[in-house]
Structure 1
Amino acid sequence: MTIQIGDTVPSATLNVVRDGVQAITTDEIFNDRKVVLFSVPGAFTPTCSAKHLPGYVEKFAEFKNRGIDVACVAVNDAFVMKAWAKDQNVPTDLMMLADGNANFARALGLDFDATAFGMGVRSKRFALYAENGVVKTLSVEAPGEFSVSGAQVMLDAIG
């Protein structure tokens, strides 16, 4: 079942690269915090690199000024996410989360089969806003689209 507004973000473990690869749980990410989490189908892919991530990098200070943390997740490994962050000049406080086996995407019900494109199982493009782990806003893109999950759209939706 796909996550809905009012649901709690499911428990999952993701990875980040800090001093080596480190596990981070969704409880650590979401508990007692306001968080915008956006997901991209893949690091270094065209729309993700040209529009989606750059929008959040550009608007990062606006989220922080509202007391909102920002996280990006993709079905890639933690080292790819670190390299992509460096390539895109991502602020260190913008969490770059690796969902290497798509377990989190599946738990959200937002996975899709991209094997026809040689990409395996991936996450749909989406953005959600959660307070203390409870989803308040959720925007899921139609396949091939980028119109409802960008940074400015999320800032406007949060109000």
Structure 2
Amino acid sequence: MIKVGDTIPDVTVTAATAGGPEQTTTNAIFAGKTVVLFAVPGAFTPTCSARHLPGFVENAQAFFDKGVDTIACIAVNDAFVMGAWGKDQGVEGKVVMLADGSGDFAKAVGLELDLVARGMGVRSQRYALIAKNGVVTHLGVEEGGAFEASKAETVLAAL
């Protein structure tokens, strides 16, 4: 599992943009920037939609005021789902929606979550991290269905 002091692995992901899906790399997202990345098990799922993503949308300006260049949400979903979820949640100008369609990023950081028995396949664990120029400076991984270490307020306090 990735830890504080590690460099974010370079993986191709897809950004859900107003113009449609755009492939990018994590190197392009993190290089030379302070980035808050939070991961959710799935778009439109209960905790993710009711509490996780909304917390980052509501607190976006506070993150930017503390020097964060980019707030990004990543999930093992396709870019069309991430785009629809972002539109539904009003993320424009606040949170970049990233699709990790095959779970390559989740696997690369060692934070995949096996939900096969629940019919959801392999997803990402719920976590949040802060990275400066691609190096992790803070990591909060949720344990056993909790929602504390990765919520916006906790991450904001870590800046």
Q: TM-score, normalised by structure 2?
A: 0.96
Unaligned runs of 5+ in 2: none
Residues 42-51 or 89-98, more deviating:
89-98
- Separation (CA, whole Å) in 2 of partners of 1:92 and 1:116: 37
Contact 2:16 2:80 (8 Å CA) reproduced: yes
Matches within 5 A, 1:10-159: 10-18=9-17, 19-68=19-68, 69-158=70-159
C-alpha change, 1:37 and 1:54, in structure 2 (3 Å) is same
- Separation (CA, whole Å) in 1 of partners of 2:100 and 2:149: 22
Unaligned runs of 5+ in 1: none
What does residue 3 of structure 1 align with?
Answer: 2
- Separation (CA, whole Å) in 2 of partners of 1:7 and 1:49: 29
- Separation (CA, whole Å) in 2 of partners of 1:143 and 1:74: 18
- Separation (CA, whole Å) in 1 of partners of 2:16 and 2:66: 26
Q: Which amino acid aligns with 2:46?
A: P
- Separation (CA, whole Å) in 1 of partners of 2:135 and 2:56: 21
Residues 6-15 or 89-98, more deviating:
89-98
Residues 120-129 or 139-148, more deviating:
139-148
Q: Which amino acid aligns with 2:137?
A: K
**Aligned with 2:13: secondary structure?**
strand
Aligned residues: 157
Kindly state the Cα deviation for residue 55 of structure 1 after the two structures are TM-superposed: 0.2
Q: Report the identity percentage.
A: 54
Kindly state the Cα deviation for residue 92 of structure 1 after the two structures are TM-superposed: 2.8
Q: Which amino acid aligns with 1:47?
A: T
Kindly state the Cα deviation for residue 93 of structure 1 after the two structures are TM-superposed: 4.1
- Separation (CA, whole Å) in 2 of partners of 1:10 and 1:106: 10
